[in-house]
Homo-oligomer: A and B are copies of this chain.
Amino acid sequence: MKSKPTIISYLFSAGLILATIGCTTGNHHKNAQKMSTTEQTPIFPKGNPQPSEYFTGAAFLYPLLSRDKNNDFVLGSVTFEPGARTLWHTHPRGQVLIVIEGEGIYQERGKPARHLKKGDVVNIPENVEHWHGATAHSKFVHIAITNYKGEQNVVWLQPVSEAEYEAANKQ
């Protein structure tokens, strides 16, 4: 009489344990999926692919606002796929970057690369040679507020070489 209840309770417990293990495993997988799906919701669409005269790799611009009588700047969202970056360039009246997604790099001529992440703000001075873009392994998205001096807001220079880019990634 005593052995029957014992076997039964073992089997009941085994059932509970197996189901719990199954649930937990399923849980981790679902949660991992849910986290990556939620984190990938961008604020803005990617926008238009940008030309290789000004960008190396896959870069995109989504225009937000044109210059007008009150706003003496152009406003846009720029997306860089991993490895993509601007050419070296300057702004005659500076530019402000607001990082909204991913990881990137900002570098001024002759200075160490600055690694950027979501929430960083860069106040780029006028007439300083610099470039910005994604890291080699991460996408990068920033809002850009680009001020005008007269009709001009940028002067494009030469590409960032592979050696320069690789060195910047390592800094």
Contact = CB atoms under 8 A, between A and B. Distances in A.
Q: Which of A12, A24, A70 gathers the greatest number of chain B CB atoms within 10 Å? A: A70
A23 interface: yes
A170 interface: no
A100 interface: yes
A96 B19 contact: no
Q: Which of A13, A16, A22, A65 gathers the greatest number of chain B CB atoms within 10 Å? A: A16
Q: Within the oligomer, what is the number of copies of this chain?
A: 2
Interface string A63-94: 01100101110010000000000000000011
The range of chain A's interface size is 35 or more
A44 B119 contact: yes
Nearest to A125: B70
A35 B33 CA distance: 11
A65 B34 contact: no
B19 A68 contact: no
Interface in A91-109: 93-94, 96, 98, 100
Contacts of A11: 8, 11-12, 15
Interface of A: 4, 7-8, 11-20, 22-24, 26-27, 30-31, 34-35, 38-39, 41, 43-44, 64-65, 68, 70-72, 75, 93-94, 96, 98, 100, 118-119, 121, 123, 125-126, 143, 145, 147
The 8 closest A-B pairs by CB, nearest first: A15-B15, A23-B23, A19-B19, A70-B94, A12-B15, A38-B38, A15-B16, A16-B19
